Structure 1
Amino acid sequence: MASTTIIQTSFAAGELDPALAMRHDVQQYAAGARRLTNCRLLVGGGARRREGTRWLAELPADARLIPWTVDESKKYVVALSHGRMDAFRDDGTPAGSLVGCPWTLAQARAATWFQSANTLFLAHPDLPPQRIARTGETSWSRQALAFAQPAGAGGRIHQPYFKLAPDSVALQPSGRSGAIELRTNTDWFRVEHVGCRFRYAGREIVITSVYNSVTAFGTVIDELPPSQDVTVDNAAGWQVGQVVEGDETGARGEVVGISSGTLLRIVVEERVGGFKVGEFVTGPESRAKVTAVAEVPPAASRNWDEQLYGPVHGYPAAVGLHRNRLILAGGRAVPNIVCASRTDSLYDFDVGDAIDTDAVLDLIGDAAAQRIVQVVSGEQLLVLTDRGCYYNAESASRPFTPANFGLLPFGSPWPVSSCRAEPFDNGVILVTGSTIVKLSPTGDTTAQWTGTPTSLLASHTIKSPTDAAFTTGWYGGVETYGFFVNGDGTMACMQLLESQQVRSFVPWTIAGTVRSVAALGDELFLVTQRTANGAVKILLEKVDPALSLDAATTYADLSAATARYGTGDGVQVIAGRYALGGLPQPDPAADGPYDVGLDFPWLIETLPPVIQGRSGAIIHDTMRICRVWVELLGSHRLSVSGQTLAAYVVTDELSQAPPLRSGPQEFRLLGRARRPTITIHAPEPLPVTVLGLSMEVSA
């Protein structure tokens, strides 16, 4: 058969899953590769050996990175490790630290956060929400989030409250003010309740001591409402648990007992004066005239609640900021609750009368939603759970208010992981298990969001991610990427351009493991665990386009390099366009400055070619790739299937550094195979950019 030329103009489909080896019928096959190790895909479709990283600092312990942007001139990355926080400027300069912090490393990794200006909020169900503040260029403070205590509120705390006990549990105070005893009709109190707040008919009591599981003592913060025996002319139709209202006084209360045929025992909820003789009381099914009123000791009532978040029931699992409201969501006790603060006070969660500016407290009205994992603020509030995704259908004509709040489900029931979800490419990217999903607005007024898995064709590159970051460009370039730190310490680089139908993933590896990742605009930072000079180190590193080695340091001379890096096989020295070999004495010598760091593998392997015969596609017959032309751009030399370009050609000046190559480079190959591929790698750790290739194939 005559030879056939096959042209690959792009690697935009990325590294395809090995399970797709026979799927030459899909369009991604023509723009994909079997392997693209440590490549950075370009917006035009080329594949470049990824940039190296600069050694910024050695961290005291393994850590999670969080980016912190105050403004364009003040940017930090903060590393959260066991019991501490260390801050660094974007050039790696130490910028202060906090010690004695309440989190473990595992809690820091699983926590949700949001940062705005000089404040960072951190939430984990085992910890009080943390508020970290930047108080100076290198100074920081930390405290547990304190809920609002507005002036004139009588000592009340405007925090979320919820009836956490079963509805049948009633609470009876011994008095209306001062120090009182509290009793429940079943076990409820725990010693951890000391210092917590209960509300009886909406009035607050702080627990001062716990005697046993049904008895506690407390101090009334604002006088409790009265209980009244209200005699009416007709008690027919009244039931315990009904809420009744006086037509003249406006008093409202819960009926907690009915006796004597005409006697209602009522715990007054509003208007401390209570009901009066002569007015009518109205219930859901009855109306009667009041003939007598007598105040009685506080009655046992089911109308009570307690603070939602605290040492007894845990703390919120998710935190966010949306429409100038602080969002607290989830937690151990009520895992499907969403709390949004007042619009005029981030720390005030008073639901008030449910006017537009009041706080919001609501449950996801869907039994399938078991546990809120994260919240994401965009044009609408997204609530991500372990069973699926929900959105609040808000718009300019339907603003975020208590009356308009209601979460609607969308997409498949993806179990969202704790790996951070973020807005990206006009949508939101989340992780579910080992799959990356993009949530996108639909523009439809009835089904406003949808979700699409994006990593299915490269599922082997995604391995239970633990951290994620998303750049807004790449060091002044046009490319934008998402990065996912896998559970095995590798990383996947995602290029997603839905407008260009580009969805690609390539694996990034290092000599060691990646522990965390963060992006500050177009810059990428890593926490890594590496072995340097025989010692295991936790490093803060930053991707640097000027480097082609990892964890690199630039030296004017090499006298101090060995003490940091040792003389292992992976240590390399580069001076300009010269790759000089390893330490302690690179050969040949060249003038500095010298970049010393760790090498990393770079490899492109094509998919087997598919050529057409008389009976259709030829796949498993033996073939020979006779010649290959590799299109380069500003590249150092490379090897193709074992053949290496010479560093110089006869017209080059040998006293100068090897020139960069652009344009097609020809390689002639031998040998036949049933599934032949082309492998491309660099013999030295220097930049290479492959724009595409063509193969002459004979069967």
Structure 2
Amino acid sequence: MPKRQLPKRTFGNGEISPEFYLRRDAKIYEDGAKRMRNVRAIDSGSFEVRPGTYWINTITSGILVPFYFSSDQYYVLHFYDGGMTAYLPDGSPAGSLSGAPWTSSILNELRWTKEGDALFVAHRSIKTQKITRIGAVSWSLADYAFASGYGGAINQPYYKLADIDMTLTPSARTGSVTLTTSANFFVSGHVGTRIRYLEKEIEITAVTNGTTATGTIIQTLPLCQRITFSSAENFQVGHIVEQDTTGVKGKIIAKSSTTIDVVATSNVAGFTVSSSYKIISPDGSATPSGISTISPLAVSDWDEQLCSPVNGYFGAVCIHRGRFVFSDHNSLPDAILFSVVGQYFNFDLGSAEDSDAIFEFVGDGKATRILDMISAETLLIFTDGGTYYIPEKSDPPFTPTAFSVRQIDTAKSGPSRAFSFERSTFCSDATGKRLYQVFPDQNSNVGYWSSRNAALLSSHLIRNPICTTQSERFLSYPERYAFGVNEDGTMFVLHAIEDQEVLGLSLWETDGIFKSICAVGSDLFALVERVIGGATIYTFEKFSDSLTLDCVKEISDISGTADDYAGQSVFVTGSTYSYGEVEVDVDGGINLDTDFLGPFQLGLFYSPDVELLPPEVTGDGVTTKQASRIRITAAYVHTLQSGRYLVNGVPNSSYRGGDDLTHPPELRDDIRKVALLGRNREPTIRITRDDAVKLKVIGVTMEVAYNG
């Protein structure tokens, strides 16, 4: 039978989905693999076994959040039910908090943003929280507090959530007053919150029933007056009227044939009577014959504080262009609010000056809820109806009067956090099987951005992500990676080479369930659910390229004990050698017969699992029939600094002729030929390991025989 050698030099496209197995004419097939599990993709196109992990501590279930205090000082924050514990990069505890309002059920839904020494944490069901680092191992927790304004006001967002026609009537302009609405509105949760009557604040102190409450006037309410004319035919309810000489303005709330009831909107003193003064309306003018002060009128122009136990809170936060940004409010899910420039706690809309706060909506009818935001070259907004951005100009980038929201795509965002990586932003979609990449594109037909499904070739590896993180210098490797924990406890790994437009996905698995991950600096941490000694525990672990096992506990010599693994079977490694599986006795001792010196690592085994796609024989007169009847007769595996591994289950020896068997076997650069028997309609090469040793594969050449 004729033979041909087919080299496999790159695995850059990662593990591709079964849907692409027949795309043998495409480069995606040539550069992809059938399986890429527990390996680290390398920029050269090769791969090596992924790093293992140290077992730092046993903790509770929760999530891990990065916190950068400075370029060289950072923490991992462990959020759990009602609390938070900080850890330094070496895994040592660095302070904690208790009494936090978050519960375990909402941890994966939290959103956060950081500024200076503070981390702001948001969820629809709780007040936004401010965590502040007040010392190297000290932290404080407080509710996010809106800034105080003029006359005791609070510069917080207000909005009328009640029916647009519902009116509010205060009994007086100052002091303690009775508040009456035209329909049911008040509930007990309103006590302690504020409403605004014509933009003047009132704090609710008691609720009598659905239409009646008691409140304290914070800012003196506008003056209400009844103005008499010989005829009021030139005036209509809703008109804004102005006195021609004094400039006093007001809004008509009610009228008769000769009177209008007006609330003054621009001058506390109100309107005055004079034969030379006229009151002007859009339909004409008239000279008043009399003016009297009346009790506050029933007006529909009122609103309430947006953030409250009644209305809920914001679920997403970020900082962009010097403004603090809120979105995903429980009652206004498509609203987006920007603080005053440079004042992160001030949401005073003012008079719409360039630096004033902004209150807007996505407002296109497609997006009903904002799920996340990312501050990139522009602000990116991820919603249940697609991805949007806010166009910007040079200075200022956007203002209350020059503001718009534009759509990039119709990809419905999923619940996990979006993340920035290699000048792009990524977000899983609502199906849980796509990973959308939003990237700058000057040629885009929707402005500055374009998007694509970055997991198109590997959608089977995206399995409802629950958390994501990215590292631009993972363990000081030159490669760039992003990581995501799937709902099933596996971890997808995205490898990117931006200048070559390479994106490849692989999967990491462990003897347990990944629950959360967090990258800080060059380190990657994981919170893992494992069964150790018959009990389910949660371990805080740190990846290390010196390890080839997971959840490692280290002992200095064989006389040491591993109490955490008492009664458990573990793998043991030392130097470059694997001792295989060993039973730890109930006292934590290990039964290891060796003369080699420690230290020894005890941990849980995992194997790389890389399977090539079936080879494609084409060209040089090879017919379709010949190409369909092939077998792989041999594989040449090119490795660097590697130990024992298996090819289609066939092992190689760790030692070579002449090696000193009293020393651990060396890691080798090698080209190994493995003869393979048997036939298969879709023959492949599969590389695994049964020892916990290093493995780095830079290429595989398949020797293929086909019918002549």
Instruction: Give the TM-score of the pair, scaled to structure 1.
Output: 0.96
Task: Provide the C-alpha distance between the structure 2 equivalents of 1:289 and 1:560, rounded to a whole number of angstroms.
Answer: 101
Letter in 1 for 2:130: R
Query: What does 1:588-603 align with in structure 2 at a 5 Å threshold?
Result: 588-603=594-609
Instruction: Confirm or deny: 8 A CA contact 1:202 1:269 kept in the other structure.
Output: no
Instruction: Confirm or deny: 8 A CA contact 2:616 2:627 kept in the other structure.
Output: no
Deviation of the 1:106 alpha carbon: 2.0
**Residue 146 of structure 2 corresponds to which residue in structure 1?**
147
Compared CA separation, residues 44 and 239, structure 1 to 2 (3 A): farther
1:633-688 Cα deviation digits (max 9, x unpaired) = 11112111122212122243333321222142211111121110011112211110
Q: Secondary structure at the match of 1:7?
A: strand
Instruction: Confirm or deny: 8 A CA contact 1:8 1:694 kept in the other structure.
Output: yes
Unpaired stretches in structure 2, ≥5 consecutive residues: 584-589
**Residue 457 of structure 2 corresponds to which residue in structure 1?**
457
Deviation of the 1:622 alpha carbon: 3.3
**Residue 705 of structure 2 corresponds to which residue in structure 1?**
698
**Residue 356 of structure 1 corresponds to which residue in structure 2?**
354
**Residue 608 of structure 1 corresponds to which residue in structure 2?**
614
**Residue 111 of structure 1 corresponds to which residue in structure 2?**
110
Further displaced range: 497-506 or 608-617:
608-617
Further displaced range: 600-609 or 641-650:
641-650
Task: Provide the C-alpha distance between the structure 2 equivalents of 1:280 and 1:196, rounded to a whole number of angstroms.
Answer: 41
Deviation of the 1:240 alpha carbon: 2.2
Compared CA separation, residues 682 and 348, structure 1 to 2 (3 A): same
Instruction: Confirm or deny: 8 A CA contact 2:226 2:261 kept in the other structure.
Output: yes
Deviation of the 1:535 alpha carbon: 2.2
**Residue 121 of structure 1 corresponds to which residue in structure 2?**
120
Query: What does 1:506-655 align with in structure 2 at a 5 Å threshold?
Result: 506-569=506-569, 571-581=570-580, 582-583=582-583, 584-612=590-618, 614=621, 617=624, 621-655=628-662
Query: What does 1:76-225 align with in structure 2 at a 5 Å threshold?
Result: 76-150=75-149, 153-225=150-222
Letter in 2 for 1:324: G
Deviation of the 1:245 alpha carbon: 3.4
Further displaced range: 528-537 or 237-246:
237-246
Task: Provide the C-alpha distance between the structure 2 equivalents of 1:24 and 1:51, rounded to a whole number of angstroms.
Answer: 32
For the pair 1:335 / 2:333, whether they are aligned, the reply is yes
Letter in 1 for 2:210: S
Task: Provide the C-alpha distance between the structure 2 equivalents of 1:658 and 1:566, rounded to a whole number of angstroms.
Answer: 29
Residue 301 of structure 1, aligned match among 299, 302, 311: 299
Q: How many pairs align? A: 693
Compared CA separation, residues 349 and 674, structure 1 to 2 (3 A): same
**Residue 475 of structure 1 corresponds to which residue in structure 2?**
475
Deviation of the 1:559 alpha carbon: 4.5
Q: Secondary structure at the match of 1:466?
A: strand
Further displaced range: 390-399 or 456-465:
390-399
Q: Secondary structure at the match of 2:303?
A: strand
Deviation of the 1:411 alpha carbon: 1.0
Compared CA separation, residues 235 and 408, structure 1 to 2 (3 A): farther
For the pair 1:252 / 2:267, whether they are aligned, the reply is no
Compared CA separation, residues 561 and 13, structure 1 to 2 (3 A): farther
For the pair 1:393 / 2:377, whether they are aligned, the reply is no
Letter in 1 for 2:544: D
Deviation of the 1:525 alpha carbon: 0.7
Letter in 1 for 2:269: G
Further displaced range: 514-523 or 612-621:
612-621
Compared CA separation, residues 176 and 48, structure 1 to 2 (3 A): same
Instruction: Confirm or deny: 8 A CA contact 1:380 1:391 kept in the other structure.
Output: yes
Deviation of the 1:287 alpha carbon: 4.5
**Residue 344 of structure 1 corresponds to which residue in structure 2?**
342
Task: Provide the C-alpha distance between the structure 2 equivalents of 1:420 and 1:540, rounded to a whole number of angstroms.
Answer: 21
Deviation of the 1:567 alpha carbon: 4.8
Query: What does 1:265-344 align with in structure 2 at a 5 Å threshold?
Result: 265-277=261-273, 278-284=276-282, 286-344=284-342
**Residue 368 of structure 1 corresponds to which residue in structure 2?**
366
Q: Secondary structure at the match of 1:481?
A: strand
**Residue 586 of structure 2 corresponds to which residue in structure 1?**
none
Task: Provide the C-alpha distance between the structure 2 equivalents of 1:426 and 1:650, rounded to a whole number of angstroms.
Answer: 51
Instruction: Confirm or deny: 8 A CA contact 1:66 1:518 kept in the other structure.
Output: yes
Task: Provide the C-alpha distance between the structure 1 equivalents of 2:413 and 2:553, rounded to a whole number of angstroms.
Answer: 39
Compared CA separation, residues 235 and 441, structure 1 to 2 (3 A): farther
Instruction: Confirm or deny: 8 A CA contact 1:622 1:672 kept in the other structure.
Output: no
Q: Secondary structure at the match of 2:618?
A: strand
Deviation of the 1:116 alpha carbon: 2.6
Letter in 2 for 1:366: D
Instruction: Confirm or deny: 8 A CA contact 1:249 1:274 kept in the other structure.
Output: no
Instruction: Confirm or deny: 8 A CA contact 2:204 2:216 kept in the other structure.
Output: yes
1:587-616 Cα deviation digits (max 9, x unpaired) = 434210111111112111110111126475
**Residue 587 of structure 2 corresponds to which residue in structure 1?**
none
Deviation of the 1:560 alpha carbon: 4.8
Deviation of the 1:237 alpha carbon: 5.6
Q: Secondary structure at the match of 1:154?
A: helix
Deviation of the 1:38 alpha carbon: 0.5
Task: Provide the C-alpha distance between the structure 1 equivalents of 2:421 and 2:244, rounded to a whole number of angstroms.
Answer: 56
Task: Provide the C-alpha distance between the structure 2 equivalents of 1:611 and 1:284, rounded to a whole number of angstroms.
Answer: 84
1:26-61 Cα deviation digits (max 9, x unpaired) = 2110111111110110011111100001111111x2
1:383-424 Cα deviation digits (max 9, x unpaired) = 221111211111314523222222111212x22123111211
Q: Secondary structure at the match of 2:476?
A: coil
Further displaced range: 195-204 or 640-649:
640-649
Residue 377 of structure 1, aligned match among 363, 375, 378: 375
Deviation of the 1:104 alpha carbon: 0.6
Further displaced range: 281-290 or 12-21:
281-290
Instruction: Confirm or deny: 8 A CA contact 2:553 2:562 kept in the other structure.
Output: no
Instruction: Confirm or deny: 8 A CA contact 1:580 1:589 kept in the other structure.
Output: no
Letter in 2 for 1:384: F
